[in-house]
Amino acid sequence: MNKKIVQQRETEDLMKKVAAMRAGGKILGGVLKDLKDYVKPGITGKKIDNWVRAEIEKRGAKVAYDYLEETFPGAICISVNDALVHGAPTDEVLEEGDKVSFDLDVLYDGYYTDAAFTMVVGGKGSPAVKKMIRTTEEAMWAGIEEVRAGARIGDIGYAVEKVLVKGKLGVIENYVGHGIGREMHMKPDIPNYGRRGHGYILKVGDTICIEPMSCLGKPANYVDRESNWTVRMKDGSIGCHCEHTVLVLENGYEVLTQA
């Protein structure tokens, strides 16, 4: 097969990928945007999970967690207070002031997109928790601002870590961002720490997930045995998680998972 045909097919494949991920990302972003208004004190994790599943399917996408090799018991990860990530939905009632992180993947036309946000239930909560959320979001955007063709993964991690450290937050190192596309988790890994000028070099058309994770205490964590999914902070401190799926452009980026 000659070089011209190969290049044409690669271009067509990239166009298909980008179109699918833009559409899927828009659906995902819309679900998360509406979820912020749906969550109220007194609601349970399982009720939220049922609502999310119905919304994903109503909007024409598939629940990505249904396609994991190891079945996850829900359509969305719901991580409350000392839970950092991968929280399995339960009958636990969310109360005013609880911190809750939502992590959602959707599958659309064969491609995955992934995003997360953290909020305080009811809006009234600890000033320290609210500051942690703002700082972690700022760290995510600092990492996103580094994205462009030719940038290195270390540039992203350095930018994220700098904001978290300045905000005096614990930096989670054993869970990282990742590439995404035909699979939910792909290379390269995108750590929330790093050195400028080091790591994988981004190229046009790459799609990656930048997802800072932080905490108010020490960053050590564990998977609780009851769910075999929920990751909790060892010292019982509050954890935080924010994430967007980002498309690499020649001179910048496109965030695919905003509403």
* Contact present, 202 and 148 (Cβ < 8 Å): yes
| Nearest C-alpha neighbor of 157 from the set 198, 129, 187 | 198
Residue type, 39: V
Q: What was the pLDDT predicted at 70?
A: 87
Query: Rounded distance, CA 49 to CA 47, Å?
Result: 5
60: left (phi over 0), alpha (psi -120 to 50) or beta: left
- Tens digit of each residue's pLDDT (9 = 90 or more) over 174-194: 999 999 999 999 999 999 999
pTM: 0.95
The structural domains of the chain, with segments of one domain joined by +, span 3-255
In angstroms, rounded to a whole number, what is the distance separating the alpha carbons of residues 87 and 22? 26
In the block, residue with structure tokens 């005096």: 168
Give CA–CA dist 237/187, Å, rounded.
Answer: 30
Sole residue written with tokens 């959707």: 106
Mapped onto helix, strand or coil, the DSSP state of residue 15 is helix
Report the pLDDT value the prediction gives residue 71, as an integer from 0 to 100: 87
Exposed/middle/buried for 146, CB within 10 Å: 0-12, 13-18, 19+? buried
- The residue ranges of the chain whose pLDDT is under 50 are none
3-state helix, strand, coil in the chain (%, to 5): 35, 25, 40
Q: Where are the alpha helices (DSSP H) in the chain?
A: 3-38, 45-58, 127-144, 153-166
Give the pLDDT of residue 7: 74
User: Following DSSP, what letter does each residue of 126-175 receive, concatenated?
Assistant: -HHHHHHHHHHHHHHHHHHTT-STT-BHHHHHHHHHHHHHHTT-EEP-SS
CA dist., res. 8 & res. 6, Å (int): 5
Tens of pLDDT, residues 90-144: 999 999 999 999 999 999 999 999 999 999 999 888 999 999 999 999 999 999 9
Q: Rounded distance, CA 180 to CA 163, Å?
A: 24
Fold observed for domain 3-255 = Creatine Amidinohydrolase (3.90.230)
